[in-house]
């Protein structure tokens, strides 16, 4: 087992809108500075020749291949063929992504031939909305054509509407600065300009339900970052690596709504995406009980250290509604379609405690699990290392190449070091060991504002696009 992982490689809430955190996007190391504007045209070359060339051009940064202004690790012995994509960069705990403003894990067009879809962001001036804007600015499948927000922002340019409240670490994309913000309540005006929308608003639950259903009934599909519809029986709540098949409930939802194209799909709670992916490959051993304690970053509340001074030198042992979500939503993810509804799984039994901790980004879970058939430790590690889901099989642009990474070091994973693994879209696991009360215990980590929020919604949209649900 690698010291760094199974592969050997190793954020203020604004009124009316959901929270989102900040992510640093930068090219790693001196190679970025020397090779930022370098374009390499190559045919069929042996890898050693490529390494030698890059070492010369990038100050002996051997082992990195500069393609389309990205720095990518290029394994020994692999040829570079025109039109092929080298593997995704592993960030090795540096907290760096491959390209400023790029969607997490982007490799290009992927293996599925894709047309471009026109997309809109409802709630575009808020934190989550801003993150969506950065992820969509250069997406290979999605073209941002509409931005919508509250009535007070409508009619202004996006730059004017956001003003000094731009919270991302990368500059506002040039192509959106002069876009005129639409009124999110004017559903027909927004829907007429797009093929589907991302929704990231902070309103009362019933108001969100009504707004999202209004878009769906206007024949505009909705990919939601909100929680309002997560437990609606015919609304798929999807983590693409886990329950991609749940999108098959959409025809039933369309019948209920009376639509031909319109529907709603949602992503799960952000904290679930730390521990449920780690449990999922182990279900074959019969998980019976699971206890989880989550240690959640302040960006999950839409806060920074400047806007949340009470968190400094402190831990707050309560997050409203979070424990119920942590105990109930996994069962829907593991449920099955029966007729016109998704029926949650009967088990395992979950109990959770959720704490807010002084961390900017990254939710951690401490997991205790009991099995019907207790596996060997080596079997668990093998299951994590080999796990791939539909997101990887379809080569979706935002999907991590290796979804689950195990760290053998006793002090890993850590949010500061590991939250940006695979550009914030992977899950980190560590400290697997037998327990005196349960069978095993371990810790896990995910980036709550990428994998857990906007990035996860973009990945879900990619799955829906690949399966033809926007056509």
How high is the pLDDT of residue 168?
A: 82
pLDDT tens-digit map of 225-255? 999 999 999 999 999 999 999 999 999 999 9
Q: Catalytic pick from 80, 199, 220, 270?
A: 270
Q: Is 363 a catalytic residue?
A: yes
Share of the chain above pLDDT 70, in %: 76
The mean pLDDT of 16-36, rounded to a whole number, is: 35
Q: Quick one: pLDDT at residue 332? A: 98
Give per-residue burial for 312-325: e unless 16+ CB within 10 Å, then b.
Answer: eeeebeebeebbeb
Q: Which of 25, 90, 246, 363 is catalytic?
A: 363
- What pLDDT band is residue 112 in, cutting at 50, 70 and 90? low
Average pLDDT score, the chain:
81
What CATH architecture is 272-446?
Answer: 2-Layer Sandwich (3.30)
**pLDDT per residue as tens digits for the range 404-421:** 999 999 999 999 999 999
Whether 133 has a pLDDT exceeding 80, the answer reads: yes
pLDDT digits (tens, 9 = 90+) for 299-338: 888 888 988 999 999 999 999 999 999 999 999 999 999 9
Choice between 451 and 30, residue whose per-residue pLDDT is larger: 451
- As a whole number, mean pLDDT of residues 38-64 equals 36
CATH topology of domain 117-269+454-466: Rossmann fold (3.40.50)
Structural domain boundaries in the chain: 29-73, 117-269+454-466, 272-446
User: Which of 31-35, 184-188, 219-223 has the least mean pLDDT?
Assistant: 31-35
Mean pLDDT confidence for 121-150: 94
pLDDT tens digits, residue range 159-173?
999 998 888 878 999
Per-residue pLDDT tens over the stretch 419-442 = 999 999 999 999 999 999 999 999
pLDDT in tens, 60-101: 333 332 223 233 332 333 333 223 333 333 333 333 333 333
Residue 43 banded pLDDT, cuts 50, 70, 90: very low
Tens digit of pLDDT for each residue in 253-308? 999 999 999 999 999 999 999 999 999 999 999 999 999 999 999 988 888 898 89
pLDDT score at 37: 38
């Amino acid at each position: 087992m690698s010291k760094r992982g199974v592969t050997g490689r190793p954020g203020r809430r604004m009124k009316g809108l959901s929270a989102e955190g900040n992510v640093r996007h930068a090219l790693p190391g001196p190679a970025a500075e020397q090779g930022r504007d370098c374009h390499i045209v190559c045919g069929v070359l042996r890898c050693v020749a490529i390494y030698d060339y890059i070492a010369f051009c990038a100050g002996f940064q051997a082992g990195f291949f500069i393609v389309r202004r990205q720095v990518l690790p290029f394994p020994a012995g692999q040829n570079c063929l025109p039109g092929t994509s080298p593997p995704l960069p592993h960030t090795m705990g540096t907290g760096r992504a491959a390209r400023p403003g790029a969607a997490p894990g982007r490799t290009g067009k992927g293996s599925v031939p894709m047309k471009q879809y026109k997309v809109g962001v409802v709630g575009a001036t808020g934190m989550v909305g801003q993150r969506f804007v950065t992820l969509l600015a250069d997406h290979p499948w999605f073209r941002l054509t509409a931005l919508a927000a509250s009535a007070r922002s409508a009619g202004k340019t996006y730059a004017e509407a956001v003003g000094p409240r731009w919270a991302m670490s990368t500059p506002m994309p040039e192509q959106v600065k002069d876009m005129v913000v639409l009124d999110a309540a004017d559903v027909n005006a927004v829907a007429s300009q797009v093929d589907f929308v991302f929704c990231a608003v902070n309103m009362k639950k019933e108001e969100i339900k009504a707004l999202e259903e209004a878009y769906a009934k206007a024949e505009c599909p909705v990919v939601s970052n909100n929680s309002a519809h997560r437990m609606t029986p015919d609304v798929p709540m999807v983590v693409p690596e886990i329950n991609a098949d749940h999108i098959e409930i959409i025809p039933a939802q369309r019948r209920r709504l009376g639509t031909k194209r319109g529907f709603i799909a949602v992503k799960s709670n952000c904290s679930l995406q730390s521990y449920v992916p780690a449990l999922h490959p182990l279900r074959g051993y019969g998980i019976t009980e699971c206890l989880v304690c989550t240690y959640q970053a302040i960006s999950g509340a839409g806060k920074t250290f400047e806007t949340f001074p009470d968190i400094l030198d402190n831990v707050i042992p309560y997050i409203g509604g979070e424990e119920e979500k942590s105990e109930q939503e996994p069962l829907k993810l593991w449920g099955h379609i029966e007729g016109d509804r998704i029926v949650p799984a009967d088990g395992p039994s979950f109990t959770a405690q959720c704490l807010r901790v002084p961390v900017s980004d990254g939710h951690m879970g401490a997991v205790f699990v009991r099995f019907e058939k207790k596996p060997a430790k080596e079997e668990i590690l093998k299951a994590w290392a080999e796990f791939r889901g539909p997101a990887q099989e379809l080569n979706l642009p935002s999907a991590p190449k290796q979804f689950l990474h195990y760290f053998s070091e006793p002090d890993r994973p850590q949010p500061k070091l590991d939250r940006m693994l695979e550009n914030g879209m992977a899950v980190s696991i560590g400290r697997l060991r037998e327990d005196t009360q349960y069978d095993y215990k371990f810790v896990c980590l995910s980036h709550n504002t990428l994998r857990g929020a906007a990035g996860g919604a973009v990945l879900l949209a990619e799955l829906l696009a690949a399966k033809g649900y926007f056509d």
